[in-house]
Structures are given as C-alpha cells and as structure tokens.
A and B are shown apart, each in its own frame.
Chain A
C-alpha cells in the first residue's frame, strides 16, 4: 500500500488499528525524498532520524511532517532560503514546531522557499528553485514552495508554511493541495523568521480540509512569547466540520472576477459556486471597492516592514554579512527603506496604512451580507519556470487576490477545484477574523462531493 498517499485522518486510524506503524510511513516518505528530492529540490535539509520512538498518547502518533525553512528548529540548520543564514543553527524551537512535535509530529526536514519568504514562485531561493510535481517545467508557487512540493510528491503527510501575502494559498493552488492561512494572531509567530510583522501568519498544507482542521487544533492558541497572539480560546475545529452549508451565505466579490482573471479559471470557479448552490448555500454578490488598491498598499507596507526586520542581519550574532543578500531581498529592503525615509513616509507608508483601514472596512461590510466569501486564488495558471523572473512587478501581480486578505488579517483557505492543461487550480474561501471553523465546514462540504484533492501527480 502506498503509505505516502495517506491523509492524516487515515494514517491515525490505520496506526491505531495496527495496519501499519508510523515508522513505516516515515520510511516510505523518506524513500520518496531520497528518490525525488534531487530533482524536485523540495528540501534544503533532510532529517533522517526518527527522534523519540514512543508516541503513545500523542495526537499525531509519529507521522512525518515538514517545516518551511523559516521556522526555527532547535539544533537543525535554518536558512530562511538565504546564504546569509547558510550555517545558522537555532538554539530553540519556534512555538508551532514545539507544539506539533510535542503532539507527535516527526520532523522529516526543512523545506525550500523563496529567500526570506520574498516571492510567489520559489525561484528566489538561494538553494535553487523547486519544481512543480504536476509538471516539472512549471513553478510550484511560493514562497512556501518546498512545503507544497514535499506534500504533493508524497514526501510527508503534512507541511507547514507561512502566508504573508499568499505564500501558502498560492502554492497550495498550484500543487493541488489544501492551504490554510489562519487569522492573524491565531497561531503564534514566535521563532519564525519575520518577514512583515503585521501580516505574517503561520499556515499549513494538507491533502484534505479535515486534516487542515486537525493541524490547526494543535497549532492555534495564545502564546506569551508572541505579543500579537490572540487570547481568544481555540475553537473545536472538528466538532461541526460535517454540518454542511445549508443556508450558509457565500459572497462572491465582483472585483475578483475582472479582466485580469484567466477566463478558464473564472469558468472553473463558477462551476465551484454552482456546486455550493447544489449543496444548499445561498450565493450573494458583494463588493470590495478597494480591491484594486490592495496590491499597491501591500507593496508599500510589506517592504517597509521587511526593511526593518532584515536590519538585524549584520553578521555579528549569527549568519553572514549583508553582502550575502540576493537581489530580491535587496530590492525589497531598498523599497522599504525608501518608503519609510524622511520626506516620503507620509506619501507612502502613512497613506498605505490609511488605505489599509478602507480595505478592512470593505471586508467588514461584505461580512454583513455574507458568512464567507469565495473567489480565485491566482489570476493565472501555474506559470513556467523563468517566465516572470525578469520582471519583478509582473511577479508581484501573482498575489493580486491573496494580499488583500493579509491586509485585513482575516483567515482564508485554498481548496483544489480542478485542472487546466494538466495544472491544478484552487479556489479560496475567506472568513471574518477567527472564523476558521466556518471555512473548514464549507471546504469539507465541497470535498465530500468532489475528488480533485484525491489526485496525485505522476512522478
């Protein structure tokens, strides 16, 4: 049996029923890594050891998981995909790493990413780009590229990423996976190398929505080490997951279906909306008037925060000096320094913060008419390796439907909804702050009547 194709739900049941052991699953995934990683380049660092052998009583029972190489892992090299940190070994675990491994998840390795999470394709890694397992001439999406590739290629049963402007949802969409971006503050940021501190969220990749809810049940929660973490109680994400979408109001933002969207993707999303109608949901039209401004707001605020966060890399306490930064990092540091500098702060940074308020208000108004929103994740199909690397701005435009959600700090989940030219397409469900339970319910209902998520790439 192909143990690497198991969902977490299936694996936990199978281990419980003694059909196979967690160690057998881990070995199966490890052999996939050894066989396919040289080509796909999903991992920067592989961890062959199983660690503790006894996972009795632990929720995740020893199943293999992978972490984007931006999560600090104690004693295991953490590079952020950059040569600046090529020999950095964290002396502590990120809170999410601590929580997941304490619950029985076994670290199989650290996955590849656009350096410092700067990117939408995986091509900005200082350790070589990863390849999309569905067609290796194409990008897997970024910046959590390696985590998407690792799960999609059966190298682990779940993987973790970060979503600051779409970096979990976009690769999930490009690799036929479920990708969760939680509410800002729902999951602790402690120990995760910071990109844009008022936008960063700690998300994850799974094959099913059910698995995604299982992981959030462990990763979510207040953390005293993260001053922005929410004191709000964690919900039981599994309890009502099968309740369906009868009478749920699903809002369709008109602005997400404009000229920039590939017509074939638009058609697939419309089929998805029809499915929800069949399931008993009520479809309503909503407007997010400032959608076209969101990318501009994001590309002022995010580089500004990046320039501040990357100021700590001076080669003194850890890592190499600033000459080791690669072009995209330098570009964003320069952009952010410019927009924050004397004489320009008001025109750019302050202005962007004000438009951010307008974007948040747009969502608040939309959620008066709808329970969740539904739209595309990417304006285009996964693109070819090298297609957008010469034009930074065209690369930034990949994020047009995802960044708006990060600006508002609200949760969103990307779910597979079909294929075009053999390449995966995903849709996203968006909810108000802390409404992950609703997103899981809606996504789960869709996966009961579709089977896109059960498809595997031929390697």
Chain B
C-alpha cells in the first residue's frame, strides 16, 4: 500500500471520494463545508505525529479477550414477521433491494 504524505488540506476531489466510499450524497455546498471542517480536525489530530510509537503495540480493544465462541446449536430467534416488520419494501418474505446487476 503506497503511503501518502500526511497533507493536512483535503482537496475537493478527496472529499468527494470519501463521500462516495461512505455512500453519502453531498451537495456542492456540503462538500465545501465538510472539506474545511475535516481539514481543521485532521490538522488537530496531526499532533500525534510528534509521538514516538516505534516500540508500541496497538490496542484495538481493552478486554484482553479473543475468539469468544458459542456452541453450534440452534436457539430461538426472531420470527420472520418480526424481522421484516420495519422494512419499507418487502416481497414474498424477502427484503426488496434495487437491482445491482443490470440486464444487457
């Protein structure tokens, strides 16, 4: 993975790219506003650059617990009706989604 330099200013193109990764649709005004706000926040967090962490292991969570498993047995769960009850669009007991694959 190519490491980018830690440039502090987010370009409009970068903001657009991040928005599309996050599946957010933004207006041009929003793109500009978020661009400058994110830049300000990133500038603030860049103070971490000063810290030497070469000998430090990362902490992703604080419980020291790994691989919590359960027995592979069937236990009571939700009824299909309950599962579907909040969906805006359903069809024949399924969630309905927009087509991903287009027909030729």
A interface residues (Cβ-Cβ under 8 A, vs B): 87-89, 91-92, 184-185, 198, 224, 227-228, 230, 290, 292-293, 296-297, 299-300, 307, 311, 314-320, 322-323, 325, 327, 330-331, 333-335, 337-338, 341-348, 350-358, 360, 392-393, 396, 408-409, 433
Contact = CB atoms under 8 A, between A and B. Distances in A.
Contacts of A348: 45
> Chain B: interface secondary structure?
loop
B68 interface: yes
The 4 closest A-B pairs by CB, nearest first: A409-B62, A353-B58, A318-B86, A91-B82
B23 interface: yes
B23 to A, nearest CB: 6
Given A315-B88, A327-B30, A341-B18, 4 more contacts: A292-B47, A296-B45, A354-B59, A356-B58
Contacts of B37: 331, 392
A322 B25 CA distance: 8
Contacts of A338: 10, 14, 18, 38, 42
Contacts of A325: 24
B3 A347 contact: yes
Contacts of B42: 335, 338
B44 A319 contact: no
Contacts of B83: 91, 317
Given A316-B97, A342-B1, A393-B40, A354 B53 contact: yes
B45 A343 contact: no
Nearest to B69: A227
Interface string B21-62: 111111000100010011011101101100101001111111
Given A299-B44, A335-B38, A224 B70 contact: yes
Interface in B52-95: 53, 56-63, 65, 68, 70, 78, 82-83, 85-89, 95
A322 B23 contact: yes
Contact of B23 (A296, A314, A396, A408): A314
A296 to B, nearest CB: 4
B22 to A, nearest CB: 4
B12 interface: no
A228 B1 contact: no
A228 B15 CA distance: 34
Nearest to B4: A343
Contacts of B102: none
A392 B44 CA distance: 12
Interface of B: 1-4, 6, 10, 14-15, 18-19, 21-26, 30, 34, 37-38, 40-42, 44-45, 47-48, 51, 53, 56-63, 65, 68, 70, 78, 82-83, 85-89, 95, 97
Interface centre among B18, B44, B45 (most CB of A within 10 A): B45
Contacts of A327: 30
Contacts of B58: 350, 353-354, 356-357
Contact of A91 (B40, B45, B85): B85
Nearest to B61: A198
A356 B59 contact: yes
Interface centre among B57, B62, B68 (most CB of A within 10 A): B62
A185 B45 contact: no
A392 B59 contact: no
Contacts of B25: 322-323
A296 B42 CA distance: 9
Contacts of B59: 353-354, 356-357, 360
Given A230-B63, A342-B1, A333 B22 contact: yes
A356 B56 CA distance: 10
13 contacts: A91-B82, A198-B60, A293-B48, A311-B23, A314-B23, A317-B83, A317-B95, A330-B24, A334-B24, A343-B3, A346-B1, A351-B51, A356-B59
Given A330-B24, A347-B6, A353-B58, A227 B68 contact: yes
Instruction: Name which of A334, A348, A351, A393 has the most chain B CB atoms within 10 A of its CB.
Output: A334
B62 A360 contact: yes
Contacts of B14: 338
Contacts of A333: 22, 24
B63 A185 contact: yes
B77 to A, nearest CB: 10
B82 A358 contact: no
Contact of B51 (A198, A293, A353, A433): A293
A317 B44 CA distance: 37
Contacts of B4: 343-344, 347
Contacts of A227: 65, 68
Contacts of B53: 351, 354-355, 358
A219 to B, nearest CB: 18
B48 A296 contact: yes
